[in-house]
Structure 1
Amino acid sequence: MTDLALPPSRRPFVEVTGLRFRPWSILWIVLTAVLMQLLLVPGRAAGAWLYKHNIELFQHQIWVFVALATLFQIITGLVALAVMRRVLPQADNHLRWPPGRTYAGLSIAVGAAMGLIMLVADYWPQLLAHTAPDGGYDITSAGAIAGWLGVMAAAGPNEEIIFRGLLVGMLAVLVPGRLRIGRLDLPVAAYVVALLFGLAHYDSFLHNPLNLAIAQQIYAFAWGLTYVWLMERSRSLLAPMIAHGLGDAVEVGIVMLLMAAWG
């Protein structure tokens, strides 16, 4: 009896299928990491430059810098998807309206749960002490609050276009194969990009408490897998965009409420 004929109850807990790992597979993974930086860093730098040279116009609102960086990164991500379509046409970027179920309801529930988990993971010392989290968000005006919530929600389209649409789509072709852990069955590319997604938040170690930085690495990896799970089931980026953007907005929204209540 072959492994494929084994009943589900007798299948190994961890199983790799279809993986063709060649010597240059490492090179593709390294190039994927480099491409991630090439897509993220210039957009952030362009946003910072434009913000600093028009700081009075933007009234010193930090969320405007985040919005500018997000806009530039979305543009570079879409350009990269267009290039991938020409260079690697067999890669699926999932940038389409869901052909079947949208999974919007599930995405909303997942995003809300993510926001609460991130809140506890990031700010549990403040929550236990009933002290206001130091999120650095401006809550002095309705415009600033709306701006921060907006840019947090925009992280969904921004990062899902780059990480799941482009990087997973590309790497799934260049390093094919699937890894099943228990009932979670995803492309090997999903796990690689989930690790990169965590590493993309490396600057948290430079600016935040160690417990917060470590927590971000852990849940960023878990969320990265969840987004691919949603993407594969809906065959679209819409569901992970919703979950991702809502999760970030929920956490920041609650932090701002606690800053107002406990500050």
Structure 2
Amino acid sequence: MTNPSPASPRPLVALSGFRFRFWPIVLAAVLMQVILELGRIPAREIYRAGTPLWDGYVSVFLLLAIAFQALLGLAAVLVMRRLLPATDPHLRWPPGASYAGVAALIGVGMGLVMLVADYWPALAAQTAPDMSYSKAPLDSAGYLLGMITTGLAEETIFRGLLVGMLVVLVPGRLRIGSLDLPVAAYLVALMFGLAHWESFTVNPFHQAMAQQIYAFAWGLTYVWLMERSRSLLAPIVAHGLGNFTEVAIVIALNALWA
């Protein structure tokens, strides 16, 4: 009796069910930029109109922009569902395990990674990291509120709308090792990084480059959470806590080392 031949080793990278279409990728990139910018326009106008009340309080503009971007993202999702009923934006309460606890731990870890990647020269020198907003307690509190709620806008736009759309229009899954995600997740993760391109114009190169790298990694993580929980809740939690953790530590270090 002969022994059966050993099974072939599992390939490290595998692409399945992929159908490339260029126009949906361009459409997704345009939608991303249009929604993000359209959300900033009314926020900017309201902020300027009320300057005597909140002059120098950047957090007011931030909170307004998040609110308008979230509303535009939701409106775009509703339109997408009408035009492309097969899409799933995951705008629902988790039908099973919420993964909220896992998302919270991941979010805190993300915040620590971002802190080191963005501010390692200041941390190494034990000097206060630069803050792009007022150090006034009220503005710091507003900025922290903006950080914890960022996911409401960005996860609705990037994962709910863009990933939801591209999963249908550019189908396929890409497995790298044990990470198995839709091709759309990788495409939108790239867009998520590129959405922060202005960082290269205002921040040191090391900080802007680090932001591109971790934004791509975080984008994949958010889709992983979304698929397992079948909801946007876990990505929103991770996204918000990641931003909140980094900014809260920066504020605390400025209070200690300034």
Q: TM-score, normalised by structure 2?
A: 0.96
Query: Does residue 49 of the first structure (1) align with residue 39 of the second (2)?
Result: no
* Structure 1 residue ranges, 4+ long, deviating more than 3 angstroms after superposition: 6-9
Structure 1 residue 147 corresponds to structure 2 residue 147: no
Give structure 1 stretches of 5+ with no counterpart. Answer: 1-5
Q: What amino acid is aligned across from residue 238 of structure 1 in structure 2?
A: L
Partner of 2:9: 10
Letter of the structure 2 residue corresponding to residue 122 of structure 1? D
Deviations 1:180-224 (A, max 9, x none): 000000000000000000000011011111110000000000000
**2:80 aligned with 1:108:** no
Tell me the C-alpha RMSD between the 2 structures.
1.4
Aligned to 1:89: 85
Matched residue type, 1:262? W
Counterpart of 1:40 in structure 2 is 36
Taking the aligned partners of 1:194 and 1:145, their CA distance within structure 2 comes to 29
Q: Distance in 2 between matches of 1:136 and 1:209?
A: 13
Unaligned runs of 5+ in 2: none
How far the C-alpha of 1:58 sits from its partner, in A, is 2.4
How many aligned residue pairs are there?
A: 254
Q: Does 1:199 find its partner at 2:198?
A: no
The equivalent of 1:69 in structure 2 is 65
1:246 paired residue number: 241
CA pair 238-9 structure 1, distance change in 2 beyond 3 A: farther
Contact 2:163-2:188 at 8 Å conserved across structures: yes
1:124-164 deviation digits (Å, cap 9, x = unpaired): 000000110002233322x2222111001111111000000
**SS of equivalent to 2:130:** coil
1:261 aligns with 2:236: no
Distance 2:6 2:47 in 1: 59
Give the direction of change, closer, same or farther, for the CA distance of 1:8–1:152 in structure 2 (3 Å limit).
Answer: farther
CA deviation after TM superposition for structure 1 residue 31, in Å = 1.1
User: Which amino acid in 1 is paired with 2:18?
Assistant: L
Q: Does residue 214 of structure 1 match 2:213?
A: no
2:160, 2:145 → 1: CA distance?
22
CA distance in 2, matches of 1:8, 1:207: 53
SS in 2 for 1:57: helix
Work out whether residues 137 and 256 of structure 1, in 8 Å CA contact, stay in contact via their aligned partners in 2.
no
SS at match of 1:34: helix
In the TM superposition, residue 88 of structure 1 has moved relative to its aligned partner by 0.6
TM-score, normalized by length of structure 1?
Answer: 0.94
> 1:133, 1:259 within 8 Å by CA — same for their partners in 2?
yes
Q: Please list, as runs of the form range in 1=range in 2, the aligned pairs for 1:219-230 lying within 5 A after superposition.
A: 219-230=214-225
Tell me by how many angstroms 1:54 deviates: 1.2
Give the match's secondary structure for 1:179: strand
Q: Amino acid of the residue matched to residue 16 of structure 1?
A: L
Distance 1:233 1:184 in 2: 12
User: In 2, distance between residues paired with 1:250 and 1:37?
Assistant: 26
| Structure 1 residues 8 and 136: alpha-carbon distance in aligned structure 2, compared to 1, 3 A threshold | farther
- Give the whole-Å Cα distance in 2 for the aligned partners of 1:59 and 1:135: 17
Match of 1:3 in 2: none
Looking at structure 2, the residues matched to 139 and 242 of structure 1 have their Cα atoms a distance apart, in angstroms, of 26
* Cα separation, 2, equivalents of 1:161 and 1:7: 46
Separation in 1 of the partners of 2:117 and 2:181? 26
3-state DSSP class of the match of 1:114? Answer: helix
1:19 equivalent to 2:18? Answer yes
SS at match of 2:181: strand
Q: Does the CA contact (< 8 Å) of 1:152 and 1:248 recur in 2?
A: yes
